[in-house]
Amino acid sequence: MIKRIASYFSLIKFSHTIFAMPFAFIGFFLGIKNNGHQHSVFNLYVLFILVIACMVFARSAAMAFNRYLDRRFDALNPRTATREIPKGVIRPSQALFFTVVMALLFIVTTRLINPLCFMLSPLALTVILGYSYTKRFTPLCHIILGIGLSFAPIGAYLAVAGQFSLVPVLFSLAVICWVSGFDIIYALQDVDFDRSQQLYSIPSWVGKSRALLVSRLLHVASFLLIAAAGWSGEFGIIFWVGALLYGSLLIYQQFLVSPYDLSRVNLAFMTVNGMASVIFSFFVISDLFIHR
C-alpha cells in the first residue's frame, strides 16, 4: 500500500508543488491583510486548509493527466522512459481515474470556499488540464503552463477576499512569466526529441540560444511585475529585500544553463526555483505583518 501511494506521489511529482504553493500563501495572507476582518480566526484556519487542498488537488489532476496523455511520448523518450506509466507501475486507466477523482475533489473544495471560487473552478481546470494538449500545436505551451500556476495567488486571495484586486493580479502575472521562463529552460533537454515527434516548444521552434534569450526576457518581466506589485501595494523594505533576492536567484538560474551545457538544468529547475518562491514568499508575508 505504501509503495502504491509512493508511486502516485512520484507520478505527480508532488515535491514540485513547492513552486506555486508559496505564491498561494502570498495571495492568502494578502487577502487576510486587506479583507480578513470579515472572517473569524477559526474560519481563516479552515480556509487556509481548503486553499492548500485546492492547490494539491488541482496540481495532482494536472500532472496525472499530463502523464496519461503523454504516455506514448514518455515511453519513446530516454529521459522519461522510466516514468510510472511507461514502466507499467501505474496503468493508464488508473492515472485517468486518479485525474478524475482529483478534479472532482478540487471542484468540491472550491464550493466549500465560496461561490466565486466555485464558479471559476471549471475555468481553472480547463487551463491546467488543457495545457497537456498545447505542446501538440503551439510553442506557447510554456505560457499556458504559467497561466495554470498563476491561479495560485489570485485564487488564494479570492478565497479570503471574495473579490478581485490589482496586487494579487500582478503577482499572478509575475508567476506566468516566471514559470514560462523556467519551463523553457527545462524544455531545452528535449529539443531533438520534440522535433522528431512534431511536438512544439520554444527551444524546438527557435533553437536553444534564442530560447534562452526568451526565458531571460520572461524572467526580467517577472521581476518587473513583482516590483509593480510592491509599488502598487505600498510594501516596505522587507518586501524589497525579498524582491531583490528573488531577482538574484532568477539571474543565478540563468547563469547555470547555456546552449552547450545542460548538465545543471535540474539544479536550475528544481532547487533554485524552489528557493526563489519560498524565500520571496517569506519576505512578502513578513512585510505584510511587520511593515503595516
Q: What's residue 269's pLDDT? A: 78
* CATH code assigned at 251: 1.10.357.140
Residue 292 has pLDDT above 90, yes or no: no
Answer for the pair 185, 168: CB distance below 8 angstroms, yes or no.
Answer: no
Q: What's residue 237's pLDDT? A: 96
Q: What's residue 266's pLDDT? A: 84
Closest CA to 167 of 121, 115, 227, 217: 227
Residue 271 has pLDDT above 90, yes or no: no
Range 209-220 average pLDDT:
97
In this prediction the pTM is: 0.95
Digit-coded pLDDT (tens) for 62-88: 999 999 999 999 999 999 999 999 999
How far apart CA 127 and CA 132 sit, in angstroms, is 9
Strand partners, 258: 261
Q: What's residue 191's pLDDT? A: 96
Q: What's residue 183's pLDDT? A: 95
Q: Bigger pLDDT: 178 or 9?
A: 178
Q: What's residue 153's pLDDT? A: 96
Average pLDDT, the chain: 93
Residue 258 has pLDDT above 60, yes or no: yes
Q: What's residue 268's pLDDT? A: 79
Residue 200 has pLDDT above 80, yes or no: yes
Q: What's residue 152's pLDDT? A: 95
Q: What's residue 14's pLDDT? A: 66
Q: What's residue 15's pLDDT? A: 65
What is the sign, positive or negative, of the torsion defined by CA atoms of 12, 17, 20, 25? Answer: positive
* pLDDT tier, 291 (very low <50, low <70, confident <90, very high otherwise): low
What is the sign, positive or negative, of the torsion defined by CA atoms of 222, 223, 228, 229? Answer: positive
11: containing domain: 2-290
Count of domains forming the chain: 1
Q: Bigger pLDDT: 237 or 261?
A: 237
Strand partners, 261: 258
